Structure 1
Amino acid sequence: MLDAHGDPEFMTSLARGLAVLRCFADEQKPMTIAQASRATGLSRPAVKRCLHTLVRLGYAAQDGVSYTLRPKVLALGYAYLSSSTLAMRAQPLLDALRDELHESCSLGVIEEDEVYYVARAEVSRIMSIALRAGSRLPLYCTSMGRVLLAAMPRTEQEAYLRRTRLRSFTPSTRTDPGELVDTLCQVADKGYAIVDQELEHGLRSVAVPVLGKRGVVAALNIGTQRERIAEAELHSRYLPALRRVSEELRAIGID
């Protein structure tokens, strides 16, 4: 959001620059000024100034009318990863879990009504969406998202569902707010979430909460191909492994 709400300390120019940077991550392709303007809602002159500044600082490059990000941008994300206790402690555990089960696994947190991937260990790409640390996905139709939503008070769940566009990614995607609230109650009772082809056809995933000093601080999941892994195996083999790693993270102390 670029609305300062009357805050005299708010730097609108910085907010605009960050919005332009983020639109590259959302689109994952070179951007023109017009495209970045549509993606951010900023005027073309404002976007042009932001891109010019990013080019001068070495964070972006210009090729004709298109702009791309340069490797220097990685330093911004690395600053978080190298200072995050959660990400640093989780990565070796995710790597070991991947090697044990031969499946991709991830750790995510809530940020701006989305699940943000803060650590990931991948065996092979099973989704059309390329996932990595820094990727973002909806909360309502992902296993990690539902685990994180289930930890919220019901009033906050309902407020999230009211302000969120609940679109169908597949014919299986649940988009009815009442049904989703009931689903979140079930997730809270069971302590895990299984999502079957709601985000992408053929994808099935299971997630559990990660507890810290402040309650649920993250979610841990495994994503599989539906045709290869039966739901019964998610319960009998994958869920116990996820719970074990979740307890290992809790034992080493996560803020």
Structure 2
Amino acid sequence: MESTAPHRNEFVQALATGLGVLRAFTPERPALTLTDAAEAAGISRASARRMLLTLVHLGYAVQAGRTFELTPKVLELGHGYWTGRSRSEVLRPVLTRASQRLGQSCSAGILDGAHLMYIARVHTERILRVNLDVGTRLPAFNTSMGRVLLAGLEDAAVRRVLEGSPRTPRTELTRTGLDELLGEVARVREQGYAVVAGELDRNLASVAVPVRDQDGRVAVALNTALSTAPGQLGAEFSAEALEAAVAEAVPVLQEAAQDAEAALALAH
């Protein structure tokens, strides 16, 4: 493979120094003096001063007395990277982190009419796994992500979607009654997450949470599989085991949803 390391005459030291100064700013140290910046970037005070004043001139930093702080304009530097990525690409690292923490597959989906459509999915390395991939469409009424997405709609819109859906039962546990489903969607909206156990498949359960756009509307749902017996997809779900699995998964998914909201906001 051809090396990507630049030749000495192609390396721009001034650019590298400037980036080093930018990286010196952290959440723990949002305001830096010349000495702080020089020490963090490993350069002289004179070099740090030139770099910082250049950032001020370009609008990427402001000076207040002896200290310097970055401005929101620095977000423009990553704009090309974020806007060049699809929503699925943006969400995949978020799902990967959640999957690693939970030891379960994690997915993201959007509402497509009366259906849930998978737009990103991270599998665990299990011998048995559910065959769901990007592009898969499932009924929204009997899936955890579908109910979370329905909960993001107005009541009248939820009713229209459910009335227009066949609502064919997949198992003896599938809830199909209109009033019952409207009540369940309202409960999901109130509690902030949806749990579906045995309604899509008798031996499968999942929990989902919403991801909101910058206007506060539910745009995407994230979910994870639930297992009452570690490493066993086909376990029967007792109420106690299901409650424990939900209690473990919901905080992780809610944290992932916050990460997803931040990442998607940057992508736009």
TM over 0.5: yes
Letter in 1 for 2:251: P
Matched, 1:186 2:197: no
Structure 2 gaps of 5+ residues are 1-82, 229-234
**Larger C-alpha radius of gyration, 1 or 2?**
2
Determine if contact 1:143/1:193 at 8 Å carries over to the other structure: yes
Q: 1:208 deviation in Å?
A: 0.1
Matched, 1:237 2:248: yes
Q: 1:244 deviation in Å?
A: 0.3
What root-mean-square deviation, in Å, do the aligned CA atoms of Structure 1 and Structure 2 show? 1.8
Q: 1:86 deviation in Å?
A: 2.1
Aligned residues: 172
Determine if contact 2:204/2:225 at 8 Å carries over to the other structure: yes
SS at match of 1:209: strand
Matched residue, 1:46: none
Determine if contact 1:104/1:224 at 8 Å carries over to the other structure: no
Determine if contact 1:126/1:224 at 8 Å carries over to the other structure: no
CA change 1:131–1:83 in 2 (3 A) is farther
Letter in 1 for 2:87: L
Matched, 1:246 2:254: no
Q: When the two structures are superposed, what TM-score results if normalisation uses the length of structure 1?
A: 0.64
Matched, 1:177 2:178: yes
Q: 1:87 deviation in Å?
A: 1.0
Determine if contact 1:126/1:225 at 8 Å carries over to the other structure: no
Letter in 2 for 1:126: R
Matched residue, 2:226: 224
Residues 100-179 of structure 1: pairs in structure 2 closer than 5 A: 100-123=101-124, 124=126, 125-127=128-130, 130-179=131-180
Q: When the two structures are superposed, what TM-score results if normalisation uses the length of structure 2?
A: 0.61
Letter in 1 for 2:255: R
* Larger RCO, structures 1/2 (Cα 8 Å, 6+ apart): 2
> Matches of 1:182 and 1:155 in 2, distance apart?
13
> Matches of 1:83 and 1:176 in 2, distance apart?
43
Q: 1:161 deviation in Å?
A: 1.3
